[in-house]
Amino acid sequence: MTQHTDFSTTPSAAASDAGDMTVLGRQARQAARLMRIASGQAKAAALRAMARRLQEQKEQLKAVNAQDLAQARANRLEPAMLDRLTLSDKTIASMAAGLLQIADMPDPIGSLSATTIRPNGMRVAQMRVPLGVIGIIYESRPNVTIDAAALCLKSGNATILRGGSEALQSNIALGAIVQHGLADAGLPAHAVQVVGTTDRAAVGQLITLTEYIDVIVPRGGKGLIARLAAEAKVPLIKHLDGNCHVYLDAAADLDKAHDIAVNAKTYRYGVCGAMETLLVHAGIAALILPRLARTLADKGVELRGCERTRAIVPQALAATEEDWRTEYLGPILAIRVVDSLDAAMDHIAAYSSEHTESIVTENLQAANRFQREVDSSSVYVNLPTCFADGFEYGLGAEIGISTNRLHARGPVGLDGLTTMKWVLAGDGQLRG
């Protein structure tokens, strides 16, 4: 097909209903009923149609994106933000590839599990079904529009997308491509709607629309998410902070310990899985810290240590209580020397945000105890915390990393966007 979307004459439903989230909500609820029973084939066809349309219309997309970028420059947005806002041939190709990858994943919907036959002969099973209507609230990266739409669609949900105001025109254009892709496959266009307003009141409305929205996935800074959590009536799958720890055990292999600690801190400073505090067993502190401090200093990482750390690494600044609590998301590392595995786990229990922690050890018992007893959403042995990512876990895709305890914990893939209903079949069995 070479049909092109004409952004100027095909107003998206979103843009025309910009002001009233209840209209979007009602449309989403209606679409959800159809999406729930859409075949895996139709959903894959829609995703492939979107990928094709993205590539076909990349020049138009870039032109729309240029308007957002011009406005953002006029508003003196920081270069890093401008970079995230930009749709290039490369980012468009990457979005299209992501769509094809999700299209090829198995359909999670309708599978039965835990099937049992009860003594009275009735069959009990659980069927994986969509959550219903998912709201996504995110910041200025327009590629999230495509990623989030694709994951929610694949898992049989309807979606309402509320992106950053800087990306509004880009998101509306991407939303039109998504809606045309849905229509190509015979699926309801309202299964994905982009909120066509930058009015902040829309967010306040979305998070309280319990009648039409089943769950909200906020993607953004800790401040935004904490504020949404305080006001939301709709359940959130929320991603708060990642104050992640690596503990170098007495029985650590020193080379692995060095490389894992460096990777955990420096793979990317800004990711939630970045190590923020390093705990080192007193028995190996003098053996590992000088070398580690040199490597990290070479990479420009500022060290803040406890007194025992500073006795070994004099150039480290003095760490305060506040340092143990801080998610730096930057080139700073807090270091504390501890006397035992238990002391390390006590520190983690006291200060961790329960995101991701790792132990480096060759001792099986220490590894098992750490993995069993540390109460974080991900607990590693001999791996850097920066592996905290749905793709790395083999989920194929990720809508975010949940710091909730209920429903989905840690990286959230397609299964996290679904729930289970009970299906029972009998032949007239009665109760009592």
The binding site for a copy of itself (CB under 8 A) comprises 33, 36-37, 110, 116, 118, 122, 124, 127, 129, 131-132, 214-215, 235, 237, 253, 255-256, 259-260, 263, 267-268, 349, 367, 371-373, 375-384, 386-387, 392-394, 404-407, 409-411, 419-432
Residue 296 CB, shortest distance to a copy of itself, in Å, is 15
Helices 143-154 & 40-56, crossing angle to 10 degrees?
Answer: 160
Which structure tokens are listed for 140?
């200025």
Q: List, in sequence order, the alpha helices (H) in 352-412.
A: 364-373
Shortest approach of a copy of itself to residue 244 CB, angstroms? Answer: 13
Return the number of the residue (224 or 381) whose C-beta is nearest a copy of itself.
381
Distance of closest approach, residue 114 Cβ to a copy of itself, in angstroms: 9
Residue 307 or 392 having the CB closest to a copy of itself: 392
Q: Which is nearer to a copy of itself, 118 or 294 (CB)?
A: 118
Amino acid, single-letter form, for residue 126:
Q
**In the complex, what is the shortest distance from the CB of residue 73 to a copy of itself, in angstroms, rounded to a whole number?**
31
Q: Which is nearest to 67 in space by CA: 169, 141, 172, 176? A: 169
Q: Which is nearer to a copy of itself, 15 or 38 (CB)?
A: 38
Q: How far is CA 46 from the centre of its chain?
A: 23
Nearest distance from residue 398's CB to a copy of itself, in Å?
12
- Strand ranges for 339-394 from DSSP E: 356-360, 378-381
As measured in angstroms, the least distance from the Cβ of 159 to a copy of itself is 15
d(CA 348, CA 116): 41
User: Which DSSP string do the residues of 195-264 spell out, in sequence order?
Assistant: -----THHHHHHTT-TTT-SEEEE-S-HHHHHHHHHH-SS-B-------EEEEE-TT--HHHHHHHHHHH
Residue closer to a copy of itself by CB (options 45, 237) is: 237
Residue whose CB is less far from a copy of itself, 15 or 374? 374
